[in-house]
Amino acid sequence: MARARFSWVREPLSLPNPARQNEIVTEANSATNGARPGIIVAHTSDLHVGGRWTPDAELQNLRAVLEAVQETSADVLILAGDVFDTNRTPLPVVEKAARLLDDATVRIVVLPGNHDPATSETVYRLQEIADVDNVYVIGVDVGDTVKFPDLDLDVWGTAHMDYHDMSPLAAPPARTATHQIAVAHGHYVRGPHDEHRSWLIHDHEIAATDADYIALGHWDLPQPAGDGSVPAYYSGSPDLAKTVNIVRLGSGSVDVKRHALHVGD
Ligand SMILES: [Mn+2]
């Protein structure tokens, strides 16, 4: 697999308009010399739905994320953990979230995080969520890989199955699709001072995935991780980042940008 070149560009926080969206599609076409336009993946994490004091705010971020998916014509949305603040999220909130996910036309990959792990009582086993056909929950609906044959894309990750420590990026599978994305919810180790934490993600583990992109969750601020050998980014939470990451996968190219959300300041 050709080593991808990638860039990390913060898009202006202005409201996207239709003309700008057309430009984006044109860019994707030209990058692949008129072949099939590249895949567009939206990535966010740490929505913590159910963790707010004001009921009206519960789903505002999820709505904004799904708007961004539409604006960017993303093929797949990755939610990299802690979508729900707790597995005891009140049922009316779960129902509303499920309705929003169901109404979205995009396919959605969810990785259970440390707040919403895939226990026997996880929120993701509730019928309200299980009934949503376009949502694929790693560790619940599927094993560790979600395959999208029409996109020639695999999304691999290790779900938090309980509340204990685990290695989010251990034992990556060999690539079987043209495009491979890894998703992980944990703490990137920047140095020895991080080693006491849980759910550690090391440079050598990021490099060993040989993925085109690693969608990281658990940190609230958007930032890159790893030594640069594989593009790995935290999206940050919609609350603090006020953006989602938009990843364009072409033939041998990976482009990562932040896309502004329409959320209250
Ligand atoms: Mn977390």
CA of 218 to the centre of ligand 1 (A): 4
- pLDDT at residue 25, rounded to an integer: 30
Strand arrangement of the beta sheet that strand 254-260 belongs to: 8-10, 254-260, 243-249, 39-44, 76-79, 107-110, 135-137
- Domain boundaries 8-260, corresponding CATH code: 3.60.21.10
CA of 31 to the centre of ligand 1 (A): 35
CA of 86 to the centre of ligand 1 (A): 11
Q: Please determine, for residue 14, whether its predicted confidence score (pLDDT) is greater than 50.
A: no
Distance in angstroms (rounded) separating the CA atoms of residues 49 and 171: 30
Taking the model in full, what pTM does it have? 0.88
CA of 169 to the centre of ligand 1 (A): 15
- In 3D, which of 146, 163, 162 has the Cα closest to residue 154? 146
CA of 28 to the centre of ligand 1 (A): 33
CA of 261 to the centre of ligand 1 (A): 21
Per-residue HEC secondary structure of the chain comes to CCCCECCEEECCCCCCCHHHHHHHHHHHHHHCCCCCCCEEEEEECCCCECCCCCHHHCCHHHHHHHHHHHHHCCCEEEECCCCECCCCCCHHHHHHHHHHHHHCCCEEEECCCCCCCCCCCCHHHCHHHHCCCCEEEECCCECCEEEEHHHCEEEEECCCCCCCCCCCCCCCCCCCCCEEEEEEECEECCCHHHCCCCCEECHHHHHHCCCCEEEEECCCCCEEECCCCCCEEECCCHHHHCEEEEEEECCCEEEEEEEECCCCC
CA of 199 to the centre of ligand 1 (A): 9
| pLDDT tens-digit series, residues 75-109 | 999 999 999 999 999 999 999 999 999 999 899 99
Query: 223 vs 106, 128, 140, 186, CA distance in Å?
Result: 25, 33, 28, 13
| pLDDT tens-digit series, residues 129-176 | 999 999 999 999 999 999 999 999 999 999 999 999 999 999 999 999
Q: CA 148, 149, 151, 155 torsion: positive or negative?
A: positive
| pLDDT tens-digit series, residues 16-30 | 333 333 333 333 333
